[in-house]
């Protein structure tokens, strides 16, 4: 199959629209790729890139719009249909069986004619590897592999099924710079071989160095397509972040700012050695909101969990007690120890029903989570929680039949009100909130913003991890920008521009040095 650079696009989308409940994930998106071309899809988190690709791969079915493969209209209902049209997707979260070898994973579910032979498969895997310059031992087990090797398996799996159209969902998010370069070389070879490649990313320099064309999505909408050699970083950033939206969040000037929490040289690695946080240092002051910006998975979640005592990190986490004026080191303390030292640290985790609350328990019992140890002797005392639950329901306008309704039956916004309400009720001196408005409607979001502002006015140090830059800039006093597990800078939220932050999110100091 030699490079067939015909003018008919390998795949073309026309007016694709997909709605989840009240959220429009894709709104009339167009896109087209030719054989022998690499198209980058650029957009912020939640701009609908993955949803769009899932519709090509047969995971979702579009509400409206048409898909053409090699000029003919097609209907893709399942991953199998997608394979039939030569479309293969490499998901961000690998779909591999851990205890299988690479070859076994590649053969999984295949309905080939002829003898079943792992040897044959391994031989073909080797051929494919040689053709494109992969390095992969087909008899190696997945659990013994590095992330980049796993990704290689996923790519070969797709090639093995003779895919001509490859979709890669943020393939470089998990790779080291050298690995990324290797992957790009492979992709270029595939392009020269006549394959059509779509790569989702939000790293600008990658877009510029790899792609032939760029399609930009902004909040689910099609923002345009440009040729890579006729564009530059600032134009793309502008298209990606869109126009600045002014939000009516009342932001007061920070008062009585003194350092409350100081993180110094914090490092955190997973058991397998992957470093998640690299030399993080920053200070949060009382009476201010420190926003944390960054693309998803830059280490925000892990950072907060390290501070809250849920993960074991290296470095210093110093807490300055406002009353006793003592300095307490929170590093390597467990959540209970932190509380017993009198540190009033509240944490609203990203995973509300999996960590912050228990879905099957009612509101009262969930409120009780924080203070259940206060009861007399061995017994629980629910009276305070009952009172507090009623109060939270009233003050925060939680929509629920009553206080003894299991929280999993509440809507997302009401679940979050219960969680934030509980954490605030402890009158924290430090309040950390990870994506507290994700999936919430406008009204609930504003309730949460107001609550955070109120904590700030009460003199708490508030850490707010968000994904919407408009909100971060309207709510925070300072914004710490993270990129790939490191701090790429701290800016003043009142003066910084969206483009400035956008660039810091996708290109930190180290990478600047490389380019």
Partner 1 sequence: MWAEFIRRAIMQGIPLLFGSTGEIVTEKSGNLNLGIPGVMYVGGIGGVIGAFLYEQNATTLNPFLAVFIPFMCAVICSLIMGLIYCFLTVSLRANQNVTGLALTTFGVGIGNFFGGSLVKLAGSDVPSINLTATSSYFRASLPFADDLGWFGQIFLSHSFLAYLAIAIALLASFMLTKTRVGLNLRAVGENPATADAAGIRVELYKYVATCIGSVIAGLGGLYYVMDYANGVWSNDGFGDRGWLAIALVIFAMWRPRLSILGSILFGGLYIVHNYIPNLDVSGQELFKMLPYVVTIFFLVMTSIGNKRNAQPPASLGLPYFREER
Partner 2 sequence: MADTEHKVKEPLFHIAKRSSIVWWKAWLIRLGAILLALIVSGLVSFLLTKENPLRIYAVMIDGAFGTKRRLWSLGQNIAMLLCVSVAVAPAFKMKFWNIGAEGQVLAGGLASAACMILLGDSLPNPVLLLIMIVASIGAGALWGVIPAIFKARWNTNETLFTLMMNYIAIQLVSFFVYKFSVPKGSGQVGIINRTSHAGWLPVYFDMEYLLNIVVVLMITFVVYVYLNQTKHGYEISVVGESENTARYVGISVKKVIIRTMLVSGAICGMAGLLLVAGTDHTISRDTASGRGFTAIMVAWMAKFNPFFMILTSFLIVFLEKGATEISTEFGLNESFSEIITGIILFFIIGCEFFIQYSVKFRKKEVA
Contact with partner 2 (CB under 8 A) among 128, 208, 369, 490: 369
Instruction: Determine if 78 is a binding residue for partner 2 (CB under 8 A).
Output: yes
The one segment of 73-81, 168-176, 192-200, 490-498 that binds partner 2 by CB under 8 A: 73-81
The reply on whether position 108 binds partner 1 by CB under 8 A is yes
Q: How many residues bind partner 2, per CB under 8 A?
A: 38
Q: How far apart are CA 163 and CA 286, in angstroms?
A: 56
Going from the C-alpha of 136 to that of each of 124, 141, 174, the distances in angstroms are 12, 11, 18
- Among 133, 177, 342, 354, indicate the residue that binds partner 2 (CB under 8 A): 354
CA dist., res. 286 & res. 394, Å (int): 28
- Please, which residues bridge with residue 277 across strands? 268
Based on the shown chain and the rule CB under 8 A, indicate whether residue 375 belongs to the binding site for partner 2: yes
Q: How many CB atoms lie within 10 A of CB 127?
A: 10
Burial of 461 (0-12, 13-18, 19+ CB in 10 A): buried
Among 102-110, 219-227, 377-385, 469-477, the segment contacting partner 1 (CB under 8 A): 102-110
Measured CA distances, 66 to 17, 30, 195, 196 (Å): 10, 9, 22, 19
379 binds partner 2 (CB under 8 A): yes
For the CB of residue 76, give the shortest distance to partner 2 in the complex, in Å: 10
Residues found in the chain: 515
95 is a site residue for partner 1 (CB under 8 A): yes
Residue 63 lies near partner 2 (rule: CB under 8 A): no
* Whole-number CA gyration radius for the chain: 25
Closest approach of partner 1 to the CB of residue 243, in Å: 37
Residue 490 interacts, among partner 2, partner 1, none and using kind-specific CB cut-offs from 5 to 8 Å, with none
- Which C-beta is closer to partner 2: that of 287 or that of 356? 356
Binding residue for partner 1, selected from 78, 232, 427, 450, defined by CB under 8 A: 78
Q: Give the range of 6-14, 97-105, 168-176, 495-503 binding partner 1 by CB under 8 A.
A: 97-105
HEC per residue, 163-219: CCEEEEECCCCCCCHHHHHHHHHHHHHHHHCCCEEEEEECCHHHHHHHCCEEEEEEC
Site for partner 1 (CB under 8 A): which residue of 1, 7, 21, 99? 99
Measured CA distances, 88 to 113, 199, 333, 379 (Å)? 21, 12, 46, 57
Give residue for tokens 């198209």: 39
Sign of CA dihedral 360, 362, 367, 369: negative
Q: Which of residues 110-139 bind partner 1 (CB under 8 A)?
A: 110-111, 116
- Within 13 Å, how many C-alpha atoms sit on residue 338's CB side? 26
If contact means CB under 5 to 8 A according to the sort of partner, which of partner 1, partner 2, none does residue 409 touch? Answer: partner 2
Distance of closest approach, residue 123 Cβ to partner 2, in angstroms: 25
Q: Quick one: which of 71, 109, 133, 177 contacts partner 1 (CB under 8 A)?
A: 109
Q: Which of 104, 169, 179, 350 binds partner 1 (CB under 8 A)?
A: 104
Pick out residues in 268-327 that bind partner 2 (CB under 8 A). Answer: 308-310
When asked if residue 97 is in the footprint of partner 1 (CB under 8 A), the reply is yes
Residue 436 interacting with partner 2 (CB under 8 A): no
- From 18-26, 99-107, 302-310, 332-340, give the range in contact with partner 1 by CB under 8 A: 99-107
Beta partners for residue 124, in sequence order: none
To partner 2, the closest distance from the beta carbon of 398 in angstroms equals 17
Interaction partner, residue 95 (partner 1, partner 2, none; CB < 5-8 Å by kind): partner 1
Q: For residue 40, which of 193, 219, 224 has the smallest C-alpha distance? A: 224
Q: How many CA atoms lie within 13 Å of 172's alpha carbon, on the beta-carbon side? A: 25
Yes or no: say if 358 and 365 are a contact pair by the CB < 8 Å rule.
Answer: yes
Do 96 and 153 form a contact (C-beta atoms < 8 A)? Answer: yes
The item of partner 2, partner 1, none sharing an interface with residue 334, based on CB under 5 to 8 Å by kind, is partner 2
CB of 430 or CB of 474, closer to partner 2: 430
Please calculate the CA angle 389-391-396 and round it to the nearest 5 degrees.
100
Q: Which stretch binds partner 2 (CB under 8 A): 10-18, 140-148, 313-321, 335-343?
A: 335-343
Tokens of 68: 């053409």
Residue of the chain from 23, 270, 380, 399 that contacts partner 2 (CB under 8 A) = 380
Does residue 459 come out as left (phi exceeding 0), alpha (psi in the -120 to 50 range) or beta?
A: left
Give Cα 127 to chain centroid, integer Å: 35
Restricting to residues 143-172, name those near partner 1 by CB under 8 A: 143
Are the beta carbons of 335 and 308 closer than 8 angstroms? yes
CB 445 within 8 Å of CB 420: no
CA atoms within 13 A on the CB side of 9: 16
Three-state DSSP class for residue 384: helix
H or E stretch covering 463: strand 461-465
Q: Cβ closer to partner 2: 38 or 463? A: 463
User: Hey, which residues between 387 and 406 contact partner 2 (CB under 8 A)?
Assistant: 406
Which range of residues in 89-97, 142-150, 287-295, 357-365 is near partner 2 by CB under 8 A?
357-365
Instruction: Pick the piece of the chain touching partner 2 (CB under 8 A) from 222-230, 331-339, 461-469, 476-484.
Output: 331-339
Say whether residue 100 binds partner 1 (CB under 8 A): yes
Residues that bind partner 1 (CB under 8 A): 78-80, 95-100, 104, 107-111, 116, 141, 143
Residues that bind partner 2 (CB under 8 A): 77-78, 80-81, 84, 111, 308-310, 334-337, 339, 347, 349, 351, 354-361, 365, 368-370, 372-373, 375, 378-380, 406, 408-409
């Amino acid at each position: 199959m030699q490079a067939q650079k015909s003018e008919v696009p390998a795949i073309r989308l026309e007016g694709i629209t997909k709605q989840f409940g009240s959220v429009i994930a894709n709104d009339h998106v167009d896109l087209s790729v030719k054989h022998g071309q690499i198209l980058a899809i650029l957009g912020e988190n939640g701009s609908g890139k993955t949803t769009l690709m899932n519709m090509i791969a047969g995971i979702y079915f579009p509400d409206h719009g048409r898909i053409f493969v090699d000029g003919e209209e097609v209907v893709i209902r399942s991953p199998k249909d997608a394979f039939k049209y030569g479309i293969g997707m490499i998901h961000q979260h690998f779909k591999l069986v851990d205890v299988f070898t690479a070859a076994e994973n590649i053969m999984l579910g295949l309905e080939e004619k002829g003898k079943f032979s792992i040897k044959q498969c391994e031989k073909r895997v080797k051929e494919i590897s040689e053709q494109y310059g992969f390095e992969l031992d087909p008899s190696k087990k997945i659990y013994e592999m590095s992330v980049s090797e796993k990704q290689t398996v996923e790519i070969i799996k797709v090639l093995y099924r003779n895919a001509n159209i490859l979709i890669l969902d943020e393939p470089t998010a998990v790779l080291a710079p050298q690995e990324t370069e290797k992957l790009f070389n492979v992709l270029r070879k595939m392009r020269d071989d006549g394959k059509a490649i779509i790569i989702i990313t939000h790293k600008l320099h990658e877009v510029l160095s790899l792609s032939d064309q760029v399609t930009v999505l902004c909040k689910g909408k099609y923002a345009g397509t440009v040729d890579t050699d006729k564009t530059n970083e600032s134009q793309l950033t502008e298209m990606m972040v869109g126009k600045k939206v002014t939000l009516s969040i009342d932001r007061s000037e920070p008062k009585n700012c003194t350092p409350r929490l100081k993180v110094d040289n914090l490092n955190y690695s997973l058991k397998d050695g992957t470093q998640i946080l690299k030399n993080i240092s920053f200070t949060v002051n009382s009476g201010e909101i420190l926003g944390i910006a960054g693309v998803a998975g830059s280490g925000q979640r892990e950072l907060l969990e390290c501070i809250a005592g849920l993960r074991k990190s290296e470095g210093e986490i110093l807490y300055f007690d406002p009353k006793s004026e003592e300095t307490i080191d929170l590093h390597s303390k467990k959540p209970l120890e932190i509380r017993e030292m009198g540190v009033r640290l509240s944490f609203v985790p990203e995973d509300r029903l999996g960590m912050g609350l228990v879905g099957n328990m009612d509101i009262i019992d969930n409120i009780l989570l924080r203070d259940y140890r206060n009861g007399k002797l061995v017994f629980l005392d629910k009276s305070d929680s009952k009172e507090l639950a009623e109060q939270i329901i009233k003050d925060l306008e939680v929509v629920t039949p009553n206080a003894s309704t299991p929280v999993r039956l509440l809507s997302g916004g009401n679940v979050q009100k219960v969680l934030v309400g509980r954490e605030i009720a402890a009158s924290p001196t430090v309040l950390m909130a990870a994506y507290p408005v994700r999936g919430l409607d406008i009204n609930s979001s504003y309730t949460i913003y107001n609550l955070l502002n109120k904590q700030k006015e009460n003199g708490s140090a508030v850490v707010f991890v968000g994904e919407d830059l408009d909100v971060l800039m309207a709510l925070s006093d300072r914004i710490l920008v993270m990129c790939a597990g490191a701090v790429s800078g701290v800016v003043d939220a009142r003066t910084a521009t969206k483009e400035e932050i956008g660039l810091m999110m996708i290109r930190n100091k180290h990478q600047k040095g490389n380019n």
